[in-house]
Amino acid sequence: MKFEYNLYSLRKRIFASVCAISLIFLLLITRLFYLQFFSASELQSKAESQWTRDLPITAERGKIYDANGVALAVSYTTYNVYTRYREIKDINEVALFLAKKLNMSFNSVFEKVSNSSVSEVLIKLKIEQKLAEEILISDISGIFLSENVTRYYPYGNLLTQVLGFTSIDNVGQAGLEAYFNETLSGIDGYYMVQSDLQGKEIDNTLRTYVKSTAGENVTLSIDANIQLILEQVMEKAYIDQQAKGITGIIMKAKTGEIVAMSNKPSFDLNEVPRDNVASLMDIMKNKCVVDVYEPGSTFKILTTAAALENGITSETDCFYCGGSKLVDGQKIKCWKSIGHGSQKLTEGFANSCNCVFMTLAERMGTSNFYNYLKNFGIGSKTGIEISGESSGIMLNEKNVKTVDLARIGFGQTIAVTPIQLISAVCSIVNGGNKITPTILKQQNFKQGQKVISQSTSNSINEMMKLVVNKTAMYSFVPGYDIGGKTGTAQKYENGTIARGKYISSFIGTYPASDPEYVLLFCVDEPSAGAYYGSVVAAPYGKEIFSGMFEYLNVQPINLEDDLKRVEATIKMPDLVGKSLTESVNNLINLGLTYEIDGEGGVIKQQLPPAGTMLFPNANVILVT
């Protein structure tokens, strides 16, 4: 009985052992299957990293060109310097050599090259080719070079906020460099060699070279020459007007292509001030598409176009301005406190009379007016290829009161971005075809939807021409057909009017009869004394157009006749301390126009100062 028990027990043990061994083999086979089919690539990669050493080859970043093929952002090859501890024969020799060649302290280099805890250490990034060649021919063991790509901007601070910049690793961080980063980046390559356990390169072994793939190029609609003209005038205005900032855009009216776009202040893209990130991000913000502002009188172009198209007014329609208008029990003033009196629509537009535009907005009603504004693109993003675009601010249509509607009519109680406003104006003056702004050069342009009729567009163009030509007595740029409109808007802070803070602006078109170019020029918080758009912004618009005509070789027409009409023959009188009535009569008798700032009866300040030689019908600011 005892023998049978032992035999039975032995059989059980053998069976259990076989099962256990089978299970172990099954687990091993399963693990092997998993490693072979699921982890093979990962393990292969780890193995290769142990027996190989590789140096990266950075892909050349794509170039950015202007519309004429001028390079605005390029890349060139530089080299990174590495050392490998296991390959160094004389640490002191390597440290002395690199410290001298790279203009670095001996101690910092010595500390790096003597670090035995890592197989490879970076000494310096992005050295020039000549220096790299000098290091290479030295043939000192333990020193290695790898190719890198450095971004360079040939025009320095031109198009700062538009182009943006890259990180040290050539990754776009701002502007178009960030927006088109995937297109521009390319694919990095590498150079790989086999090494032993200590990280030393094994002689006569397989070397692998994988070439990098360059990124694609991007061609912009920007014209570098016109951009330069714009930025030079903006820099001048920034200093002259002691402004917080300047924004400027020049757009092709029929295609929406941005010819020039800039913000001031700016900086050299080759010397990015990275020490203060918050300040850098603020100055890099492209205010042309990000910031919103109340446009003021430049918005009257949209109101007039909508009213004419809606059929609630005509060019000969008559209006009366007594200096203010009562709306919902609120007295809303015209900028000219004594009023413009009786005037036709064309005269009201030239006078920029607030009362006229309040009346037009009321006649249209909220629903009609809003429909036109939305068709013009107000209240929505334009879709331009620039990050961070804002939609602007419009009151909810259901919440608009009559007093709000009246204010919207002359450019208050509504906020737009500069790109939004100039796009809307382009859509109005180009014959009524809605455009979508673009920073890229267009190959196949498709005409947009019709927002107003050709006849309404023609009427607006004639009115804008009348504004800057001062009823044909004064040409904005002698010999050239230019239209325009100025604007002066108070700024708001924390929901209330910020006293003494304005945005002065000018919108100009050329040629006025059938615009090809539209210019928007805005001066944020001018503090040199004047703040009216006609004084602070319009003169710089004149300089920009003059520069463009010279560059584009556009010849003047009827220049002699124009010059005869615009000889500066009127000497500005000294009106400070005199009564408003006496001053106004004096200006009218001299053939000058005027704007009044204030409601007092005595002149405290005048622009321009006494003794200035003026053209006939030039505009004078009287501060009471």
Active-site residues: which are they? 297
Contact, 25 vs 32, CB < 8 A?
A: no
DSSP-based helix, strand, coil % in the chain, nearest 5: 40, 25, 40
Check if the beta carbon of residue 356 is closer than 8 Å to that of residue 321. Answer: yes
SS3 labels along 556-595: CCCHHHHHHHCCCCEECCCCCCCEHHHHHHHHHHHCCEEE
User: CB of 422 within 8 A of CB of 381?
Assistant: no
What φ, ψ does residue 81 adopt, rounded to 5°?
-105, 125
DSSP 8-state assignment for residue 442: P
Are β-strands 496-510 and 318-321 bridged in parallel, bridged antiparallel, or unpaired?
unpaired
On whether the CB atoms of residues 319 and 343 are closer than 8 A, the answer is: yes
**Pairing status of strand 71-83 against strand 143-152:** antiparallel
Q: Three-state DSSP class for 260?
A: strand
Residue among 619, 479, 464 nearest 562 (CA)? 479
For residue 373 the two structure tokens come to 């504004």
- Contact 304/463 with Cβ under 8 angstroms? yes
Q: Amino acid letter at 389? A: E
Nearest to 381 by CA among 428, 431, 437, 432: 437
d(CA 74, CA 61): 8
What gap in Å lies between CA 486 and CA 410, rounded to an integer? 12
Q: Tokens standing for 213?
A: 């793939």
CB-based contacts of 122, cutoff 8 Å, min separation 6: 80, 81, 82, 112
Q: Give the separation between CA 434 and CA 428, rounded to whole angstroms.
A: 8
Please give, one letter per residue, the 3-state secondary structure of 265-315. CCCCCCCCCCCCHHHHHHHHCCCCCCCCECCHHHHHHHHHHHHHHHCCCCC
- How many CA atoms lie within 13 Å of 49's alpha carbon, on the beta-carbon side? 7
Other residues' Cβ atoms within 10 Å of the Cβ of residue 364 = 23
